[in-house]
Amino acid sequence: MITMTYSAPAKINLSLDILRKRKDGFHDMRMVMQTITLHDTLILHPHCGGGRITLSCGGAQVPCGEENLAWKAAQLFFEETDTPCDGLEMELRKRIPVSAGMAGGSADAAVVLKALRGLYRPSLPREELERIALKVGSDVPFCVRGGTVLAEGRGEQMTSLARMPRCPVVLCKPGFGISTPELFGRVTVSRLKTHPDTRGLVKAIALGDLRMAAGKLGNVFEEVLPQEYGEVFEIRDRLLGAGALNAGMTGSGPTVFALFDDETRAKGAYEALAKDYSETYLEKIL
Asked if 185 and 133 touch (Cβ cutoff 8 Å), the reply is no
Helices (H), the chain: 69-80, 104-120, 126-136, 140-145, 180-186, 198-207, 210-214, 231-241, 263-274
Cβ atoms within 10 Å, residue 7: 14
φ, ψ at 246 (rounded to 5°): -170, 165
Q: How far is the CB of 179 from ligand ATP (least distance, A)?
A: 9
The nearer residue to ligand ATP, 165 or 177, going by C-beta atoms, is 177
187 annotated binding-site participant = no
Q: How far is the CB of 119 from ligand ATP (least distance, A)?
A: 19
103 annotated binding-site participant = yes
The nearer residue to ligand ATP, 56 or 264, going by C-beta atoms, is 56
The nearer residue to ligand ATP, 69 or 113, going by C-beta atoms, is 69
105 annotated binding-site participant = yes
The nearer residue to ligand ATP, 81 or 180, going by C-beta atoms, is 180
Q: How far is the CB of 116 from ligand ATP (least distance, A)?
A: 15
17, 40, 108, 139: the catalytic one is 139
Which residue type does 286 have? L
In the beta sheet, which residues pair with residue 153?
29
Q: How far is the CB of 268 from ligand ATP (least distance, A)?
A: 27
Crossing angle between the packed helical segments 104-120 and 126-136, to the nearest 10 degrees: 140
Query: What are the C-alpha distances in Å from 86 to residues 51, 117, 120, 135, 248?
Result: 4, 14, 11, 22, 45
The nearer residue to ligand ATP, 185 or 241, going by C-beta atoms, is 185
The nearer residue to ligand ATP, 38 or 69, going by C-beta atoms, is 69
Query: What are the C-alpha distances in Å from 135 to residues 51, 107, 143?
Result: 23, 14, 13
Asked if 262 and 284 touch (Cβ cutoff 8 Å), the reply is no
Asked if 34 and 164 touch (Cβ cutoff 8 Å), the reply is yes
97 annotated binding-site participant = yes
The answer to whether 139 is a known catalytic residue is yes
What's the CA gap between 58 and 62, in Å, rounded? 10
100 annotated binding-site participant = yes
The answer to whether 275 is a known catalytic residue is no
Q: How far is the CB of 203 from ligand ATP (least distance, A)?
A: 25
DSSP states of 246-278 as a string?
EEEE-TTSS-EEEE-S-HHHHHHHHHHHHTT-S
Cβ atoms within 10 Å, residue 52: 11
What's the CA gap between 76 and 110, in Å, rounded? 12
Q: How far is the CB of 42 from ligand ATP (least distance, A)?
A: 9
Give residues in contact with ligand ATP (CB under 6 A): 62-63, 67-70, 92, 98-106, 108, 139, 180, 251-252
102 annotated binding-site participant = yes
Active-site residues, by number, are: 11, 139
Q: Which residues are annotated as a binding site for ATP?
A: 97-107
Q: Which residues are annotated as a binding site?
A: 97-107
